[in-house]
């Protein structure tokens, strides 16, 4: 009703929830088992425990392929999750990378790739779509991450136990520098640099999840995992992993409004560098300042140079997946005969993409990363607009995915890990979390929110 007189007037109106969203997200928490989810968890168990490597009798059974096939069948027959804005761009970027890989493989320098390489490329792309479609509810997200973190905690405790046992036996510290600490077994954890990248991924996840307002046991679990992953980063013998761990903490410090966790974590990480890291590893950091005097750094710079020249000669599609070692040996020889025998990879995922997939593959990665961070940002904004806070579990998971990706990108700059499962699982989790948040907003339904607008003073009649 308009009041007469010289005073200003405010009209009270109601607008739908799409304009003023204040209703909390209604996220599904009931247990949701299904063939797709059970098969996906089984796949994780087989791959991350490296059962065929530890028990060769299981190798002929092809458990990884069997569980992945079961997950594909389960995904096809299961109910499709609600579509969410932003997921389409992320999925399109993955399809672009897959298409570029196929085209590059057809025109590859060495077209007959080993069966394992072809299967690995297809496997990672399939895992992205399965995780994005299968892990799309709060209960499944928590169950998936529980198993995911437990498997990595098993690897971390193995590495820490090896370090402290060998350190107590007065083993020369140069052994840690030369061989590092591995995850045991085989696969992509049998190298200290690869293990360090993996620890940076899960360190970023647990760093954010430990801040969530969950039960006391859950929070304690995340905190213990975070400390174990951070400790292994310091002692695994990989300089790139340490740089990735520092990048995770700095990124958390930049984005955190209160700095409540980042500052103490950075202080603890610095203390770990001083008191926990082997002295020989600290000396390697000092020698890296002048790469010409550090043999490892010099070798990597030479390999990076070969990869850049390879990209310049094959700019559009690169030389083909897994073709770096063949093309480098044939067209870009290195004067160092010792390195010539060991130069199988370029030791940088960014050089790996440019040299093997060319400009189109690099463009696909840029689109994937931009969509990834944008999707997580939209999830956090949706939670806050719906009355949530920065300590709810979904908000912390979205932040943890960002930190995990940052740790992966920084540490992966020093090792060829593009076709490892890290980036594909993280991207799939981002798709699933975005779908769950969109479904929760839809389930909450529209709600009328009160708003006001200003009416200028009206002259008296």
CB 345 within 8 A of CB 352: yes
Going through 282-364 in order, the beta strands assigned E by DSSP cover none
* Residues 184, 295: Cα–Cα separation, whole Å: 26
CB 181 within 8 A of CB 235: yes
The whole-model pTM stands at: 0.85
Task: Kindly give the confidence (pLDDT) of every residue in the chain, 461 residues in length, as a single tens digit, with 9 standing for 90 and above.
Answer: 444 444 444 444 444 444 444 455 555 556 678 889 999 999 999 988 877 777 788 878 888 889 999 999 998 888 777 667 778 899 999 999 999 998 988 888 776 565 557 778 889 999 999 999 999 888 999 999 999 999 999 989 988 888 888 777 766 665 655 556 665 555 566 678 888 899 999 999 999 999 888 888 999 999 999 999 999 998 887 888 899 999 999 999 888 766 666 777 778 877 877 777 777 677 777 666 666 666 777 788 888 988 999 999 999 999 988 888 888 888 888 776 566 556 678 889 999 999 999 999 999 999 999 999 999 999 999 888 877 788 899 999 999 999 999 999 999 998 889 999 999 999 999 999 998 888 765 555 444 343 333 444 555 54
Listed by start position, the domains of the chain span 13-34+78-446
User: What's the residue count for the chain?
Assistant: 461
User: Counting Cβ atoms within 10 Å, is residue 35 exposed (0-12), middle (13-18) or buried (19+)?
Assistant: middle
| Contacting residues for 301 by C-beta, under 8 A, at least 6 apart | 291
Torsion of CA 394, 397, 399, 405, to 10 degrees: -150
CB 4 within 8 A of CB 455: no
């Amino acid at each position: 009703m308009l009041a007469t007189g010289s005073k200003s007037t405010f009209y009270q109106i109601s607008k739908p929830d799409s304009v003023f969203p204040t209703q909390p997200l209604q996220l599904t928490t009931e247990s949701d088992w299904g063939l797709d989810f059970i098969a996906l968890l089984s796949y994780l168990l087989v791959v991350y425990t490296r059962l065929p490597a530890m028990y060769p009798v299981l190798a002929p059974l092809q458990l990884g392929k069997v569980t992945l096939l079961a997950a594909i069948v389960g995904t096809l027959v299961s109910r499709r999750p609600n579509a969410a804005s932003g997921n389409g761009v992320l999925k399109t970027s993955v399809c672009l990378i897959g298409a570029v890989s196929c085209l590059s493989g057809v025109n590859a320098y060495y077209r007959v790739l080993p069966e394992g390489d072809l299967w690995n490329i297809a496997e990672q792309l399939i895992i992205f779509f399965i995780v994005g479609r299968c892990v799309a509810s709060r209960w499944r997200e928590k169950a998936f991450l529980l198993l995911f973190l437990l498997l990595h905690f098993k690897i971390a405790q193995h590495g820490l136990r090896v370090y402290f046992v060998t350190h107590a036996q007065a083993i020369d510290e140069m052994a840690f520098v030369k061989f590092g600490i591995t995850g045991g077994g085989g696969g992509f954890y049998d190298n200290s640099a690869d293990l360090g990248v993996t620890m940076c991924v899960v360190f970023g996840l647990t760093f954010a999840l430990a801040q969530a307002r969950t039960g006391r046991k859950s929070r304690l679990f995340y905190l213990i995992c975070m400390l174990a992953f951070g400790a292994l980063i310091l002692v695994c013998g990989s300089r790139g992993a340490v740089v990735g761990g520092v990048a995770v903490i700095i990124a958390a410090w930049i984005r955190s409004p209160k700095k409540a966790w980042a500052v103490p974590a950075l202080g603890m990480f610095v203390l770990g560098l001083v008191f926990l890291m082997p002295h020989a590893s600290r000396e390697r950091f000092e020698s890296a300042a002048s790469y010409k005097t550090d043999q490892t750094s010099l070798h990597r710079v030479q390999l990076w140079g070969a990869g850049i020249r390879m990209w310049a000669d094959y700019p559009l599609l690169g030389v083909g997946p897994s073709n770096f070692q063949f093309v480098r040996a044939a067209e870009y020889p290195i004067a160092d005969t010792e390195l010539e025998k060991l130069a199988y990879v370029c030791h940088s995922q960014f050089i790996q993409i440019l040299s093997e997939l060319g400009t189109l593959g690099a463009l696909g990665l840029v689109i994937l990363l931009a969509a990834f961070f944008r999707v997580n940002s939209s999830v956090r904004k949706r939670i806050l607009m719906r009355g949530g806070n920065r300590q709810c579990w979904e908000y912390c998971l979205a932040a943890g995915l960002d930190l995990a990706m940052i740790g992966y990108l920084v540490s992966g700059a020093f090792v060829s890990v593009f076709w490892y499962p890290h980036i594909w699982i993280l991207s799939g989790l981002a798709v699933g979390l975005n779908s769950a948040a969109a479904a929760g907003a839809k389930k909450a339904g529209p709600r009328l929110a009160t708003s006001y607008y200003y009416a200028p003073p009206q002259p008296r009649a």
